[in-house]
Structures are given as C-alpha cells and as structure tokens.
Structure 1
Amino acid sequence: MTVFDTVEATRRPIKSTGMSRCVVLGILNVTPDSFSDGGKFDKVSTAIERGIELARQGADIIDVGGESTRPGASRVDEPEELRRVIPVIRALSESGVKVSVDTMRATVAARALDAGAVLVNDVSGGLADSAMLPFLAGSNVPCVLMHWRAHAAVMQRYAVYDSVVQDVCFELARRADQALAAGVDGDNIVLDPGLGFAKTADQSWSLLAALPTLRGLGFPILVGASRKRFLSECVDYGTLKRENPADRDDASSAVAAVAAASGAWGVRVHDTAAAAAAVRVARRLRTAGAGGL
C-alpha cells in the first residue's frame, strides 16, 4: 500500500501508514515564470496531461502550484492563483491522481481541498497568511510547513545565520509549536528545511548533510532539492557550464537517494521516474542491511 492508496491513509499519511519507503511528490508548476519549467504547463490541458504522466512515472502525489517562489519572483493575486490551480486539481483528482496544493493562502488551500486535494504544502510554514494554521487545524488535513523567512522577491537578503543547521532547526521547531498551539494535529505535520529559500549554496548543502539532525525534531522531513541552483557544481565540469535547470536532474536524483537513505519522509522532484527508482534503491539497501528481503 502506498501512502495515498486509501482515504484514511490520505487523511493521516505521516505516522500511521508504516510506509517502507520515501514518498515521491511530483512537481507541477502551472505558472508562466517558475525557474525550471515556467510556461510549459500553464494551460489546463497540458497541466492535466503532465500530472497524469508524473503519476504514471512513479509520483505518489502531484504537487500543484500556481505561484512561482523562485528567487526574485513577485506574488500573483489570489484570483489568478485560483484560476491556475483549481481546474487542474479537480481534473487530476477526478481521474484518480492524488494531489497536493502548493500555496501560501488559506483560501486557496480551502478551495483546493474542495476540488480534491489531499495535502497542503505551504512554503511559508503558515507565516504568509495568519489564517493558514487555524484552517489546517479545522480541516484536519496533512500539511508541509517549510522553513521560510521572507517572500521570494527579497528572501535572499535573509540568508544570514549564526549556524544554519541550528537556526533552521530552532525556527522549524517554533513553526511546529505554533501549528500545534493552533490545533493542528501533530500526526499531520511534515517539516521542510527550505533548501534554496533564504539559503546560499553552502547553507543548503549543510542542511542536506544534517538530515538526521532535522529528523531529530520529531516530525517527518520533506526534501525539495530538485533542479535548484546549488546543485550546479555537481553538473558543471571545467569550462562546460550547464545553465538549463533540467541538466540538474541526475544530481537531483542522487539527492533523492541520499535523502531517502537518511530517513526523509518524502522528496519533491521534477523527474519522478528517476526519483522513484532512487527511493526504491534506498529502501532495498535498508532491507538488505537489516537482513530483510
């Protein structure tokens, strides 16, 4: 059974499923300006086709986002975000694909759940909209709360830490505490260290290396490294510079394998076929090491 095979598992995917491998979230940006695939899937028909393709390639859930959070991006207004995501979420859900919504707005999250979404992924961790945590508590929906310091337009100004691992752990723990205080069920919370969000490349690598420490916070951890710029050093060789984010897919899949082997709950990726293989390799190695089959 996968984490989203049943309604009950969908409602409580975190501690109650006993899933033996890392969950794969397939990225579906229905935006014109996302850093990797902006404009490719901003039409409803192409977005639906892409979501179904990602699911067939091994994604457990498709993460649909209508607002770019690339460095420097400006916000879109709520009606435009709704226009972009709701038809896609509804169509994918009706086709049997499990869907999450990537949004910082409680109203968008509510409409997405009505359309069939089963998880809310808030990159602001509830900080961008004061209504988000109460909404999550009232809806009893699984959620991802990411480490966040500012909106995309200015976030890199805030990539200043005494110790990035200690500071991110402290701030994530505070986010979780505030969610719990708002009434969010602890079994519904996943934390995300926010690689690349108000982080330099070195800081992102430090957080990846500290996944066991992050897991020590007591909540499942989602890793979102796919195609991000800090991976460039792994695909740029000598004078050969690869500026296309898709050139980072191999490095992204390597990170997925490392994250899964380090006990991450999930990975958020563009190339779901490679990531699905990577997390299964990690699971197979764990069972082999434990003497299992």
Structure 2
Amino acid sequence: MSIRYDGKVAIVTGSGQGLGRSHAIELAKRGAKVVINDLGGGVDGSGGSSDAAKAVVAEIEALGGEAIANGANVAKYDEVEAMVKQAMEKWGRVDILVNNAGILRDKSFTKGSLDDFKLVLDVHLMGSVNCTKACWDIMRDQAYGRIVVTTSSSGLYGNFGQTNYGSAKMGVIGMMNTLAQEGAKYDIRINALAPTAGTRMTEGLIPEEAFALLTPETVTPAVLYMASDDAPNKTIICAGAGAYSVAKIIETDGVWLTPEDQTPEGIAANWDAITSSEGQTQPQAGFEQTVKFTGKAMTGLGLNK
C-alpha cells in the first residue's frame, strides 16, 4: 500500500525549518499542495522573517511540487484566517492541517514570568486552536479532514523547567480528545504527535551521538500516517530516531467504598486496590467514568437488581 496525497491541500505551521520543514517536504513529495507557514522568529518567538518559508517553497518546487509561503503568527486569529483564505483561493480546499509551530521559554516555575507562560500557551495551545478553528468548517463541509496536533513528553510526563510548555502540550490533548468525537461523523480525524527530534529546541540537551540519531526525518513518517486516508483517530503517536510507540491515558478500575469508608483514611487504607492495574481501561469519553462510578455505587448499595 502506497500512501499519497494527490489532490489534497496541507497546511503545516512552523514549517520553515526543523520538524515542520521535514513534514511539509515529505507531504509535497507524495503529492500534496502545501502551505509553508512560518513566522520566521527565534526559538523564543522573537523576531520574524519570511526567508525560511520561502526557502522551503523553493525546495518543494525544485522537486516538482506545489507550495506557497505564509508568515502568519498562529497566535493571532485574523492572520490565521487570512492564511486559510489564501489556501482556499489558491487551491479551493484544505484537507490536512499539521499544527507544528512552537516556541520555548524554559525556566523553573519559580523563576519564570507569567508573561512567558501566557506567550507559550498562546503559540502552542491557542495557535493550534486558531488554526484548527479556521479549517474546521471547511473540513466539515467537504466531509474530510486530517488534523495533527503536536504534544510532547514534557506535557505527557513532565520535564523540569517546562511548566509553561508542558501545560500547553497537554492542553492540545484535551482539544484532540473532544474534537475527535465532534469530527467523526464528518470524517475529520485528529491525532497527536509526541516527537523526539534533534532540532533547535533540543540542541545541547542530549549527547552528541544521540542527537545525531534524532533527525526530523525519522519523526515525519508518523505525521504522514496521521495525515492519510486510513489514519487512526484520537491517538498519540510518539516518534524519534526511527522508533514509534503509542501513549495512552488509562484509568484503573478502582473500588467503591462503603459510606463509612468514604473518608481520606478510607482512601489511604484502600490505596493498593484503588491503584491496582488489574482491570484498568482506556476510556473513550468522559461519561464512561461517570457510568463506571455510579455502577459501582449501585452494586455496592445493593440497588442493582
């Protein structure tokens, strides 16, 4: 089976270099027409230049593909709307959105400013929201869409000095979990990439030999799969150095405590049973927890007859 995107239009944010550049070029190689969005700023989000985006467009055109450059700041909805309008006027549709743009303002929580915290959330979380919102009705009307959000192990598991970044990266998972339900009947599928790549953001943080293995090109196949017709839905794919895995949010089966044990002491006494992995599940929607808990309570109180 060959995965291709002939006749499809993709928008890849932050695609002037690094992971985004790799995603955009490989999508174009497989037939997609691509909007190369890049503000052209530094890793911390400062500055701006369209040179990087134009260079990627030139690369794609040299390969025989089609692409246009766009310098929208994903944190500004009016600029995002204009970017999507540009794609629609040029090609008449938007099939694939890869939310890749990001910045870093790493500092421990005690040293970091709230302004930096808000800026990181604006770019990573609201940037993903803005771009997805601007494309959503188009994808719904054409009954097709593939959306990728970029999460991180820093959000899934935590990373010292990245409270702002981790909060934003976990935020996109909450967005994905709900939009996967809302978009399903329109064949809009939304998934998350948790990449490990040697980019400007990770340089100097890991040994040189390991860094050399973490090329963006080893991550991009996961994006290509999530952008395909047969993509999964509501899935977190982790990728790096040619290795791929899936991260899942699970919930233990838990236990119901009698009314007299519904105390902090009761929880402490039953902690091993509450945290036992036996019977744990991966809920597909929030209401499943409610159904489980009320079912346990009804059984415990003898009301299930």
TM-score range, shorter chain: 0.3 to 0.5
Please tell me whether Structure 1 or Structure 2 has the larger radius of gyration of its CA atoms. 2
Give the number of the structure with larger relative contact order, counting CA–CA contacts within 8 Å between residues 6 or more apart: 1
* TM-score, length of structure 1 as denominator length: 0.42
